[in-house]
Amino acid sequence: MVCNTYHVSQKIRQPLASLYNSKSSCSFIATFPARTSTYRPLSAATISCSSFTWDDVVRVSQPDYLPDDSSDLRGYFEKIKICNRGSQKQSDFFPFIVEDQIVGYVHNGFANQLRGFHDVFVHSENNGSGYGSYMTLNSKLRTPDERTRAVGEVIKCLGEEELIPGMRNELYPVSSSFGAPIFFSLERAAAPYFGIKSYGVHMNGYVERNGQKFLWIGKRSQVKPTYPGMLDHLVAGGLPHGIACGNNLIKECEEEAGIPTSLSSRAIAVGAVSCMNIDGYRYRRDVPFCFDLKLPEDFVPQNQDGEVEGFHLIPVTQVANVIRRTKFFRPNCSLVIIDFLFRHGYIRPECFGYLDLLQSLKNGDCS
């Protein structure tokens, strides 16, 4: 396959290139008013998603940093909104169909680049199928392996042209829903550009001391291609092709936090959250499976793969403050931690908006 058989226009290059450069979602929600306490307020103009320190995290997590806001759910709603943007732009996308099943959505501008690869992708106009205009694969590609190889060649070309940044060399299964037949596998970084539903495993690791719960929080490496320097819960990872959720969680526990199988096998599956976010040509449909793991008091996580800068053990109530008051956490991690706060009784029905917030944790297609 020759990679220069299509025209790379400035129209497509600019939106794609700008996706990872924007700082607009990485600062504080607001510039906090001056206080007379020993904690100096931080300014949105001076603290970005990659420049804050653990000292900053501890400072803003303190109960007396702001007047008591534990019953105010607005900060949580803001985090959920960040993960669920762009629904008004759905009309800019049309279905990506394989074997008469919708597996994703493609922006009409991005589809213009795919049309150059007519031996792989076929754009069908409204032909009475009920889908209207849609993108599909060439009918000559009959097996999952053939489709994976052919689509992979296209993705490689788009990556070389920097139209799809952050290549991972990790394959995601493409299907109509979780557990359904897999039509082919797709490079992880390309999944949002095809609107493929992505699944992952996300684990909150917690410790109990003297009746109080603490969460282990990680800070991502500054060299990570996505969300560098931001906060994560203890373990998270995408669900690649050919591995079950439980086995994948055990693998991620070892790689990200040095948690041995003897401990990670005790993790409890507690449900899932979902979100849908449109940003430029990317249509993210994410379903994180949530796990809890109660860890021994003396366990200290140790990163093994170089993707985590460090870990801190923080009281759950103070983690909640960081979620409400800042945008330091990677967006979908906020959803998983909010889910934890519900299940462990830190967000209670007496809070105004309780049910709305609970329902909003599954704003995306959870299938």
Give the pair of three-digit tokens for residue 358: 């609970």
CA-CA distance, 229 to 171, in Å (whole number)?
25
Contact between 311 and 216 (Cβ < 8 Å): yes
Cα-only R_g, the chain: 22
Residue 253's alpha-carbon distances to 18, 170, 290, 304, in angstroms, are: 32, 18, 14, 10
What are 341-352's pLDDT values in tens digits? Answer: 999 999 999 999
Taking residue 307's Cβ as centre, other Cβ atoms within 10 Å add up to 15
* pLDDT given at position 308: 95
Pairing of strands 134-137, 93-98: parallel
Position 161 confidence tier, pLDDT thresholds 50, 70, 90: confident
| Close Cβ partners of 357 (under 8 Å, ≥ 6 residues apart) | 73, 76, 77, 80, 338, 347, 351
Model confidence at 27: pLDDT above 90: no
Position 137 confidence tier, pLDDT thresholds 50, 70, 90: very high
Whole-number average pLDDT of the chain:
86
CA-CA distance, 285 to 199, in Å (whole number)?
9
**Threshold 0.75, pTM exceeds:** yes
* pLDDT given at position 28: 36
Model confidence at 11: pLDDT above 80: no
Enclosing H/E stretch for 113: helix 108-114
Position 66 confidence tier, pLDDT thresholds 50, 70, 90: confident
- For range 218-234, the mean pLDDT: 92
* pLDDT given at position 283: 97
* pLDDT given at position 109: 93
Residue 360's alpha-carbon distances to 134, 327, 353, in angstroms, are: 29, 18, 11
- For range 38-58, the mean pLDDT: 60
CA-CA distance, 209 to 203, in Å (whole number)?
20
Give the pair of three-digit tokens for residue 109: 């501008």
